[in-house]
Chains A and B, each alone.
Chain A
Amino acid sequence: MAKDWIKKFFIYLFLTIGAVVMMFPFYWMISSSVKTAAEYNSFPPVWIPKNWLDFSNFVKAFQAAPFATYFLNSIIVTGSSVLLTGFITILGAFGFSRLKFPGKTILFSFLVAFMMVPFEMLVITNYQTVSKLNWIDTHYVLVIPFMTSIFYTYILKNFFDTIPDSLYYSARIDGASNWKYLWRVMVPIAKPSLVTIMLLNAISSWNSFMWPQLVINSDRFRTVPFGLFAFMSDAGSDTQLQLAAATVSVLPMIVLFLFARKYIVSGVARGGVKG
């Protein structure tokens, strides 16, 4: 009995420490977003801001850059990226999991091997391509190059592989085409996995910074992460304003995560077992 109690105590102790470490940056971001400049820059640091309801930083931040445009751009880019990538991933995963064609295994191994190529390697060739297409300073340039993802296809293919063949044959005998089977049977079953993929995609698209920085030159097409950059100047930065803007910019992702939470857990758990 006593041993159990001690074991439990340590488990919860470590979980608590872990949770605090994970949560602290968020706490710092949110609490600092309502601090005054003096509070933020004081030493020793102010852990708890005096006035939690002081939203003047938010107002100032939104005046500092055209955030409304940035948000709209981010929503357009993230939304279309999630839909297009999702669609292509579903078709790709179905092909690799279900269809039979010569060289399938070899082709897939090649694709998986390409996952090792870092994004930075692709930047130059991608840049050359999009500039030849005259796509610099458009929405396309933020969506089209990322439309296919080997990683997401790989995850979804693994999930599709766990769906028994008998479901496929049963649907075929009932007269369902591959297309019908995919959308009426496989996709609904793979919902947890699919939601996980779409959420990961949304997060990476929403937070993407380096690529937009390179290919977008005008405010009309800039996305939210660039806006956060605007508070940095040679004269130092108004960090409390930046954190107020950051708080707003992560909100959509947090909301999305809360909605999709139930799927994510089962998606990761099931995809993980199969590896």
Chain B
Amino acid sequence: MQVKIDHLTKKFDDVVAVSDFTMQFDDGKLVALLGPSGCGKSTMLNMLSGILPVSEGKIYFDEDDVTNMPPQDRGVGLVFQNYALYPHMTVLENIAFPLEIKKVDKKEREEKAKEMAKLVHVDQLLDRKPKELSGGQQQRVAIARALIKKPRLLLLDEPLSNLDARLRLEMREEIRRIQLETGVTTIFVTHDQEEAMSISDKIVLMKDGYLQQEDGPQELYDDPANLFVANFLGNPPINNLTGYIKDGYFVLEDDSGRIKVNNENAKENQQVVLGIRAESALIGTKEDHDLEAIFDQQYTMGKEELAFLKIGNQQIRIYLSSDYKFQKGDIVYLKFRSKGVYLFDKESGVRI
């Protein structure tokens, strides 16, 4: 099912949680609503589920206007961050509960619940109570319960944040597998960019209730619309060097170096930020380099080293192959690739 939202706004008294959103979620896709806490992503999810009333704007499921439709009529499945399993019911009863409410007869609903349990791999645990399950298992049960009534839309609120690191990796792949197997249109909320990047077809990045950018994970990473997007995606975070434009060059704010920029939109004397992905800075030579930096320290990340360098009074992180051995204070010649280097207006953050 395709979800369309049209100028959607949510206000709590004077606070605007979601501001004038217009966008579209495509049928059968897994979409991540990504943003820092308080950005309105959960509010958005709750409006889609119908728990929260909408202040302004419309929500359409395919051609149906569901803006004022009560949650139970929308045909959505929702998985809560704390899973919200009923503690006094067994796994089987929990999964079958939505059908019990629909007055499906006992034999049929148990059959369907077992089918669902098999899909999410909890068919060995049907007689257990939720407190006897691990976090990952509870999560699976919650997903099965959300899927049993064949929802048109599956919503997941921070589905991985209550799990430890190893389970998180496992469950995010599981969520992807279940989503692909059922083909249900799925929207999930997360504050973890890695989670969003790894499994979603599309990422919707939000900040302070505003849409920042929506696109595929790789497109978002390669082509950020503004400084916030560039900073939010990627680990280690992108390097920011502040400076200004002079004679077609980016000049560091303390005038300690400059780089030729081929960007006709950049205006003379404009205050700018140069964003450089860690993997886009290579080691050059004295004859062929863009900037000179001073080596400070380095950390081992397993397959490579992460080096901290100083450029004037600013800092930059780059990947370093273990072939290089630098000492603190050594001069490092940096050569930037064209991919992964962006120029942003300092004040507005907009990409130039």
Contacts and interface: CB of A to CB of B under 8 A. Distances in A.
Nearest to B83: A166
B88 A169 contact: no
A60 interface: no
A173 B86 contact: no
Main secondary structure of the interface of A (DSSP, over half): helix
A72 to B, nearest CB: 35
B51 A172 contact: yes
B22 to A, nearest CB: 25
Interface in A120-179: 164, 166-167, 169-176
Contacts, number: 51
A180 interface: yes
Contact of B72 (A164, A175, A189): A175
A169 B101 contact: no
Given A172-B51, A172-B71, A188-B88, A164 B101 contact: no
A185 interface: yes
Nearest to B50: A173
Interface stretch (B74-82, B193-201, B243-251, B282-290): B74-82
B133 interface: no
B87 interface: yes
B72 A172 contact: yes
Contacts of B100: 184
Interface in B56-96: 71-72, 76-78, 80-82, 84, 86-88
A185 B149 CA distance: 19
B interface bracket (residues with beta carbon within 8 Å of A)? 20 to 34
B87 A189 contact: yes
Nearest to A176: B101
B126 to A, nearest CB: 19
A245 B176 CA distance: 71
A170 B89 CA distance: 14
B156 to A, nearest CB: 13
A167 B86 contact: yes
Contacts of B97: 171, 174
Nearest to A168: B84
Interface in B130-155: 145, 149
Given A174-B101, A174-B149, A175-B101, A169 B51 contact: yes
B190 interface: no
Given A173-B51, A174-B72, A167 B101 contact: no
Given A166-B84, A185-B86, A173 B71 contact: yes
Q: Which 6 A-B pairs have the closest CB atoms?
A: A175-B72, A166-B84, A174-B98, A166-B80, A170-B84, A188-B88
7 contacts: A164-B82, A166-B80, A172-B51, A173-B50, A174-B145, A175-B101, A189-B88
Interface of A: 164, 166-167, 169-176, 180, 184-185, 188-189, 191
Interface of B: 49-51, 71-72, 76-78, 80-82, 84, 86-88, 97-98, 100-102, 145, 149
